[in-house]
Amino acid sequence: MAVIGAGAFGGWSALTLARRGARVTLVDAWGAGHVRASSGGETRAIRATYGSHRIYTALAVRALALWREHDRRFGRALFRQTGALWLFANDNPFARAAAAGLAEHDLPFEWLSPADAGARFPQFAFDGVASVLFEPEAGYLLARRACEHVAECAAAEGAVLRTASVAVPLAFDGGRPVERIALSDGTALEADLYLFACGPWLGRLFPDVIGDRVTPTRQEVYYFGTPAGDTRFSDAELPVWMDFGERLIYGIPGDAHRGFKLADDTPGPAFDPTEGSRDLTREGLEAARAFLSRRFPALAGAPLLGGEVCQYEASPDANFIVDRHPGAPNVWIAGGGSGHGFKMGPALGEVIADAMIGGPVPDTWRLARFTAGGAAWPEKWS
């Protein structure tokens, strides 16, 4: 089997397949955890709050268990349990549905008044907040390190790792199995099954089948410095947080000692993940500083330690894409992480590996939903 793309979807699928005895080649154009990938960067939040979309709550529960199992097995600390704090500006239907989903899976959570939340987490200013939901089992993941480690684990299980890119675009027809895939270095992959988990590059690889059904968007992330010796903004004292107002702003404390992470979750403009500029914009930085000063008064005027431009690779309805290529029975496509896919990696690896040998795939992840006119999610989804 050949897996193209060593991010969260591809890496965990390759590891799962290798553990099940498959002969796997894992290929990535720049290597696992590289900076251009949607799975790159230092950290990603993990939580099970998904409004009424219970399929993702269930998947997050399974993924969280697998992240913990992986850490125990390998003596790693890729998952950091900090809890997750959601701040809601009103009586939000997403919040109520999310709480019901957590209860359904016996996950603990608390409703806090702004006053109670302020007493517990005085680092925040809770002005404009109507209610607060705390999910104690949540936290964050060390993303780049996880991608590298999962690829190393796949290699230890017998997978072959290659750094190469696929010659684009790809076009399959006639319903015949694909025997070989040409690579840009003049060599080729030969496998009985192929999985393309190429994130924001899927549309370029498959312009006829994917095209703009996976749209890379430009997302700016900022890291601010906290006062020397001040532990209030470390992950030992502050949870991952999401501010669900007119826009969804989120942050990760400590962030592997890189700084106080802050980002706007709102999908940005279309972006070229290969050639696009990754310089921060003045407008984005000013907006981030204004939010930081309002919600975390002690960090007003905090120095910018750094920043990065990453990308989401979003499907039109923010659901994942996991399906067989309609023109090639031995080619599978997995993507559309839509800004919320990384945390699901180990659980998705199981689903994808099962699907490739005949297991079920949710209809909401199949390509046919696009031609059937599937509706977009009626609420913010990440």
The stretch 22-45 carries a mean pLDDT of: 96
Residue 322 predicted with pLDDT over 90:
yes
Residue 172 predicted with pLDDT over 90:
no
Instruction: Render 342-355 in DSSP notation, one character per residue.
Output: GGGHHHHHHHHHHH
Q: Which helix (H) or strand (E) holds 147?
A: helix 143-156
pLDDT band, residue 382 (cuts 50/70/90) = very low
Q: According to the model, what pLDDT value does residue 185 have?
A: 87
Amino acid at 110: E
Pair of tokens at residue 128? 């404009």
Residue 379 predicted with pLDDT over 70:
no
User: DSSP class of residue 167?
Assistant: -
The stretch 132-153 carries a mean pLDDT of: 98
Q: Which of 1, 47, 21, 10 is nearest to 348 (CA)?
A: 10
pLDDT band, residue 292 (cuts 50/70/90) = very high
The stretch 164-168 carries a mean pLDDT of: 92
Q: According to the model, what pLDDT value does residue 109 have?
A: 98
pLDDT tens string 350-372:
999 999 999 999 999 999 999 87
The stretch 210-225 carries a mean pLDDT of: 97
- The sign of the CA dihedral 133, 380, 320, 279 is negative
Residue 171 predicted with pLDDT over 50:
yes
Q: According to the model, what pLDDT value does residue 217 have?
A: 97
Residue 50 CA to residue 243 CA, distance in Å, equals: 15
Q: According to the model, what pLDDT value does residue 206 have?
A: 95
Residue 305 CA to residue 88 CA, distance in Å, equals: 29
Instruction: Spell out a b/e string for 149-183, using b for 16 or more CB atoms within 10 Å of the CB, else e.
Output: bbbbbbbebebebbebbbeeebebeeeeebeebeb
Residue 331: φ, ψ to 5°:
-115, 125
CB-CB contact of 165 with 143 (8 Å): no
Residue 249 CA to residue 129 CA, distance in Å, equals: 13
Residue 5 predicted with pLDDT over 90:
yes
CB-CB contact of 249 with 265 (8 Å): yes
Q: Which of 178, 228, 236 is nearest to 205 (CA)?
A: 178
